[in-house]
């Protein structure tokens, strides 16, 4: 259950982003998570309300895009989809592949309410 620790790091980043951009409430958080990042999107969703309670990101919507596992073949150059525990080139079946996508654990973007809107809601 390291997803809570990951969520706490995320909330810290959200607070920094908000503070650097006028201090508005965080409305939407877009993440990109790959199966090989070691983090489960579903567990992040469960942990986020706990980690964000009482912060500028409380009640923010979490939009998680699950990145596909894709590999680039060092032999034939093809890029193809692969399973996390069967990383073979889809074109030539070779095993000399490099991961092109699938290990991301990325905070892509954040949408903030304008500072005035945030202040109005606090009243």
Write out the residues near another protein by the rule CB under 8 A.
Answer: 1-2, 5-6, 9-10, 12-13, 17, 21-22, 24, 27-28, 30-32, 36-39, 67, 71-72, 84-88, 95, 97-101, 103-114, 117
Structure token digits, residue 40: 């489960």
Query: Toward another protein, which CB reaches closer, 27 or 58?
Result: 27
CA 19 – CA 28 distance, rounded (Å): 16
List residues bridging with 24 in a β-sheet.
none
Taking the complex as a whole, how short is the minimal distance between the CB of residue 87 and another protein, in angstroms?
4
Give min distance, CB of 53 to another protein, in A. 18
Nearest C-alpha neighbor of 99 from the set 88, 110, 115, 114: 88
């Amino acid at each position: 259950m390291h997803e809570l620790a990951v969520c706490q790091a995320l909330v810290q980043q959200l607070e920094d982003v908000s503070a650097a951009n006028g201090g508005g409430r965080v409305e939407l958080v877009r993440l990109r998570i790959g199966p090989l990042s070691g983090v489960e999107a579903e567990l992040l969703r469960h942990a986020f309300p706990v980690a964000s309670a009482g912060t500028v990101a409380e009640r923010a919507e979490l939009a998680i895009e699950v990145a596909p596992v894709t590999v680039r073949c060092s032999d034939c150059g093809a890029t193809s989809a692969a399973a996390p525990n069967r990383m073979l080139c889809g074109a030539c079946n070779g095993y000399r592949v490099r991961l092109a996508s699938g290990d991301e654990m990325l905070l892509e973007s954040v949408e903030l309410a304008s500072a005035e809107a945030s202040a109005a809601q606090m009243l």
